[in-house]
Structure 1
Amino acid sequence: MKIAQIAPLAESVPPKLYGGTERIVSYLTEELVAQGHDVTLFASGDSITNAKLVACSDVALRLNPAVKEHLPHEVVMLEEIRRRAHEFDVLHFHIDLLHFPLIRDFADRTVTTLHGRLDLPDLKPFYKAFADTPLVSISNDQRRPMPPVSWSGTVYHGLPRDLLPFTEKPKGNYLAFLGRISPEKRPDRAIQIAAKVGMPLKMAAKIDNADKAYWQTVIEPMVKSHPNVEFIGEINEHQKAVFLGNACALLFPIDWPEPFGLVMIEAMACGTPVVAFRCGSAPEVIDEGVSGVLVDNVQEAAENIEWLLRLDRRKVRTAFEKRFTAERMARDYLGIYRNLPGVRTRAAPVRRANGQSLDLKVVA
């Protein structure tokens, strides 16, 4: 199959630091190439891939101090995609909604994975206007706020099998919080849980400009007042393996409709069990009693830590391998690609004048 993957330009593929969407685009792209498909990646010029790279900006827009506004660069990328759309059997978008008017004429061989929250009121009239555009959700819970649309499937995220090594015996006696410092991620709950159980907490997290006030007024004072809490800051992929692998457990104390929660399966890949609040996708990702536990409040989380630390870390890793590898993710997406109406049409045999068929099916 000739497949176009279209990534956001804010971060490189894969991202240097934080960037869940770009990380998933990278894992999917590389796995599709490994499975023998002809893949073209539209992304920033500092992206690293085995696919054909179409550089749509010199570097990731967030890392370029000369870039003040992302939209012009994104529109230039969309024009390049419009010009070359005929080259591909399927075009897979990961850029939210800017491309929808552009793809009207060939939407039947596109799919758009929605990576973000869908409960924002401004989104409903938009998706009503584009109700026939094929969409993919990253959890079933993510779909709940949406009006009737054309869902092609739900595809859970996956990681390369050997990306994060299994750690049977963690060297640290700490709880881990990994992600973003923001009100919906509830790092305050993580601090409260660690304080209740008397265990060290290490926090590796990005602080966006939009969340600096929350950090300064709520979280930083809590960190300073709890001597068992260590704030590490944003970490890279290599540091993540060590950080998660040596943790006794990952705390995932969210307070919002999390569309997926990549960090949960990253922890599982390391064999590290997860304490997750029962929000969003968490009940779909966590196999309760195997890879972690679901809780409803801080007290319940604290009460379950001792039991959680007795879980078999090999079974945690096995749960990851069964459900959340990049190979499985790529297979799921290939199934969706092949069932798109426009892909099936391009794959149909063409009849010669003498009645014989000329098979033009897409090689997949």
Structure 2
Amino acid sequence: EPDSNNPYIAFLGRLSEEKGVHHAIRLAKETGNKLIIAGKIDVNDRAYYEKDIKHLIDGKQIVYIGELGHDDKVELLKNAFMTVHPVTWPEPFGLVMAESMACGTPVLALNQGSIPEVISHKVTGFVEEDIESLIKRVKEVENIDRWACRKHVEDNFSAERMTEGYLSVFRKMISSRIKNLETSGV
């Protein structure tokens, strides 16, 4: 359950333009929510951080806590009332989304790359086309069942489920190869 005495939105990821930390800050400011940002600042992202982000971090509403180890990451995600994942590029798989939902925390994200395959819209969070639409969804997060988030990860992204998926692909590949060999007379 989220920390009701200190409600906050979590942002976990590299502090870079393509990860959309500027969108996360805008969402928090426009909804009046606290945002806790965790992640590293790569050398390549330092100019973006210094120019566009640093002056927005006030230590009260917008808080930056640096990089986290596994246990601290779990604490951050499970105690948040939501995680925001506003990436601005077609990310192949956002591990943060699965980690957040595994902690029972809903995710709000922009519709990029694999995001609609990871988040079940209106069940484990919200997937929207623009930051304005995500901002409007914040008030609906309380309607998301945190257990549904956890179950979604168990059903779709557990080690067992991922292994089953890979084995299924390998079986199809082998079967296809055998058929090709049989039809070619080998």
Coarse TM-score class (shorter-chain normalised): 0.7 to 0.9
- What is the aligned counterpart of 2:2 among 170, 181, 188? 170
- What is the aligned counterpart of 1:284 among 101, 107, 117? 117
Q: What aligned pairs does 1:52-201 form with structure 2 within 5 A after superposition?
A: 169-171=1-3, 172-201=6-35
Q: CA deviation at 1:305?
A: 0.6
Q: What aligned pairs does 1:299-314 form with structure 2 within 5 A after superposition?
A: 299-314=132-147
TM-score by length of 1: 0.46
Are the counterparts in 2 of residues 188 and 222 from structure 1 also a CA contact under 8 Å? no
Secondary structure of 1:201's partner?
Answer: strand
Structure 2 distance, partners of 1:298, 1:277, is 7
Structure 1 distance, partners of 2:119, 2:31, is 22
Q: What aligned pairs does 1:17-32 form with structure 2 within 5 A after superposition?
A: none
Match status 1:323 vs 2:153: no
- What is the aligned counterpart of 1:223 among 39, 57, 70? 57
Q: What's the counterpart of residue 26 of structure 1? A: none
Q: CA deviation at 1:294?
A: 1.1
Match status 1:204 vs 2:52: no
Give the residue type in structure 2 aligned to 1:294: V
Q: What aligned pairs does 1:5-24 form with structure 2 within 5 A after superposition?
A: none
Q: CA deviation at 1:339?
A: 4.4
Structure 2 distance, partners of 1:258, 1:250, is 17
- What is the aligned counterpart of 2:130 among 297, 301, 304? 297
Secondary structure of 2:10's partner?
Answer: strand
Q: CA deviation at 1:333?
A: 1.6
Match status 1:254 vs 2:48: no
Structure 1 distance, partners of 2:24, 2:45, is 17
Gaps of 5+ in 1: 1-168, 346-364
- What is the aligned counterpart of 2:107 among 259, 262, 274? 274
Q: CA deviation at 1:200?
A: 0.4
Q: CA deviation at 1:175?
A: 0.2
Structure 2 distance, partners of 1:338, 1:295, is 36
TM-score by length of 2: 0.88
Structure 2 distance, partners of 1:309, 1:320, is 19
Q: CA deviation at 1:330?
A: 1.2
RCO comparison, higher one (Cα < 8 Å, 6+): 2
Q: Deviations over 1:318-350 (max 9, x none)?
A: 1111111111111222233344459x77xxxxx
**More off after superposition, 193-202 vs 304-313:** 304-313
Structure 2 distance, partners of 1:301, 1:213, is 27
Larger relative helix fraction: 2
* Rg comparison, structure with higher value: 1
Match status 1:265 vs 2:98: yes
Q: CA deviation at 1:204?
A: 0.5
Structure 2 distance, partners of 1:303, 1:338, is 44
**Superposed structure 1 runs of 4+ greater than 6 Å apart:** none
